[in-house]
């Protein structure tokens, strides 16, 4: 079941024919993107830098790829290494565009779902601003010595020291075409200019969904890393009841039917994670950044409701005892962290 979830064009992620209007619009879009990039390269559009390292996390294909779990992992690791990180974000889904600091208690409609989630999980300064360069400056003024820019790959206004592209391991670049003929915001070769390319392989041995069936199937061979790519796996933390109570392992729901709620770029990834854990899934896909209302969680019965952590920050105010969040943590190879930290150098010394 999908409520309010816009359908991804069927031709984006299969070999189906692309309508002529979409192909024509893609030509115009590609030309505009190429022109914008050239204007930045020759200096007619100005880049703005800050006096600390900037790590940009983003993706080329529209839709979710796993940027937020990676951003959280980056912030956590940088803190352990002695850095004082801050996160810059546009804050999609906010009711206004005013720049502001996002705190754990900031309402989602003011801070945006992903920034609020990051503020609650990471306990680091989070600044939302349509101008990511201005957000970075504010973070530096607040004492941060490294800036992590969430979903900023196409925001060339902000000078960056490290670019990390995140790729959905199952869908990758779809049909390889530019928007709206395909899912690409920029040409696929743009990824080769990124310092790191991280492939989200989900929960590893978890099943992928057979196209068009919604049923678990063997993960396709294409869902793997290639040369120069780093694998990222998502590990499920304890399931958290939103109305209060003790966390429970995801395995506690094995053999049960649940309502699965996901308002993310690729809801099927979440549903497949639950299916792979032996859970009977009644899927409810919503649009990315959907503004939930109590009626959205009224399903006519008392089955448990499992949702992503990003959805949970928007539903916590009216959730009842049926509702649970399923947080995930990103895991990457030790060699990835060695390479990244070597690129950044040592954190500044105090005093």
Supply the mean pLDDT for the chain: 90
Can you say whether the dihedral through the CA atoms of 170, 173, 177, 178 is positive or negative? Answer: positive
The mean per-residue pLDDT over the stretch 144-167 comes to 95
* Cα Rg, the chain, nearest whole Å: 20
Q: Give the global pTM.
A: 0.90
1 has a pLDDT exceeding 80? no
Q: How confident is the model at residue 328 (pLDDT cuts 50, 70, 90)?
A: very high
**Separation of alpha carbons 13 and 18, rounded Å:** 11
The mean per-residue pLDDT over the stretch 294-316 comes to 96
Strand spans (E) along the chain? 54-58, 85-89, 100-102, 126-128, 146-150, 162-168, 196-200, 208-209, 216-217, 229-236, 240-241, 257-262, 280-285, 305-308, 323-326, 328-331
Tell me the range of 11-15, 20-24, 262-266 where mean pLDDT is highest.
20-24
pLDDT at 132: 95
**Separation of alpha carbons 284 and 295, rounded Å:** 13
In tens, the pLDDT along 64-97 reads 889 999 999 999 999 999 999 999 999 887 888 8
To 5 degrees, how large is the angle CA 163–CA 169–CA 170?
Answer: 145
Q: Which residues pair with 321 in a beta bridge?
A: none
Alpha-carbon distance values, 104 to 107, 111, 191, 254, 299 (Å): 9, 10, 33, 32, 29
Per-residue b/e over 127-145, b at no fewer than 16 CB within 10 Å? bbbebbbbbbbbbbeeebb
pLDDT at 4: 54
Q: φ and ψ at 62, to 5 degrees?
A: -65, 150
Q: Which of 148, 136, 93 is nearest to 116 (CA)?
A: 93
8 has a pLDDT exceeding 90? no
Q: How confident is the model at residue 223 (pLDDT cuts 50, 70, 90)?
A: low
pLDDT at 218: 35
Q: Is 202 left (phi over 0), alpha (psi -120 to 50) or beta?
A: left
Q: Which of 187, 170, 169 is nearest to 178 (CA)?
A: 187
336 has a pLDDT exceeding 80? yes
Counting residues of the chain whose pLDDT is more than 90, the rounded percentage is: 77
Residue 180 tokens, joined: 């709206």
213 has a pLDDT exceeding 60? no
pLDDT at 219: 39
50 has a pLDDT exceeding 70? yes
215 has a pLDDT exceeding 70? no
Residue written as tokens 């309402």?
A: 107
In tens, the pLDDT along 280-302 reads 999 999 988 899 999 999 999 99
């Amino acid at each position: 079941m999908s409520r309010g979830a816009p359908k991804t064009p069927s031709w984006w992620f299969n070999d189906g024919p692309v309508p002529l209007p979409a192909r024509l619009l893609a030509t115009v879009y590609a030309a505009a993107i190429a022109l914008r990039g050239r204007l930045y390269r020759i200096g007619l559009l100005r880049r703005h830098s800050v006096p600390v390292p900037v790590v940009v996390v983003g993706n080329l294909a529209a839709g979710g790829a796993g940027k937020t779990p990676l951003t959280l992992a980056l912030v956590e690791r940088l803190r352990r290494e002695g850095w004082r990180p801050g996160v810059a974000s546009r804050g999609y889904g906010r009711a206004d565009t005013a720049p502001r600091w996002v705190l754990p208690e900031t309402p989602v409609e003011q801070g945006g779902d992903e920034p609020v989630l990051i503020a609650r999980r990471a306990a680091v300064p989070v600044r939302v601003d349509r101008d990511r360069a201005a957000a970075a400056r504010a973070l530096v003024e607040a004492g941060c010595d490294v800036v992590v820019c969430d979903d900023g790959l196409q925001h060339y206004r902000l000078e960056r020291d490290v670019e990390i592209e995140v790729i959905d391991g199952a869908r990758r670049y779809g049909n390889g075409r530019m928007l709206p003929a395909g899912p690409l915001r920029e040409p696929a070769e743009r990824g080769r200019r990124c310092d790191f390319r991280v492939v989200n392989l989900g929960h590893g041995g978890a099943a992928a969904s057979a196209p068009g069936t919604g049923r678990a199937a063997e993960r396709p061979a294409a869902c793997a890393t290639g040369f120069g790519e780093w694998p990222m796996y998502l590990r499920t933390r304890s399931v958290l009841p939103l109305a209060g109570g003790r966390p429970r392992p995801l395995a506690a729901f094995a053999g049960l039917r649940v309502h699965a709620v996901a308002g993310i770029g690729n809801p099927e990834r979440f549903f497949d994670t639950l299916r792979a854990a032996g859970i009977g899934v009644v899927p409810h896909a919503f649009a990315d950044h959907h503004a939930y209302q109590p009626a959205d969680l009224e399903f006519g019965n008392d089955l448990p409701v499992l949702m992503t952590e990003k959805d949970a920050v928007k539903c916590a105010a009216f959730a009842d005892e049926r509702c649970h969040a399923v947080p995930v943590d990103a895991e990457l190879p030790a060699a990835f962290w060695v390479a990244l930290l070597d690129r950044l150098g040592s954190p500044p010394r105090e005093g």
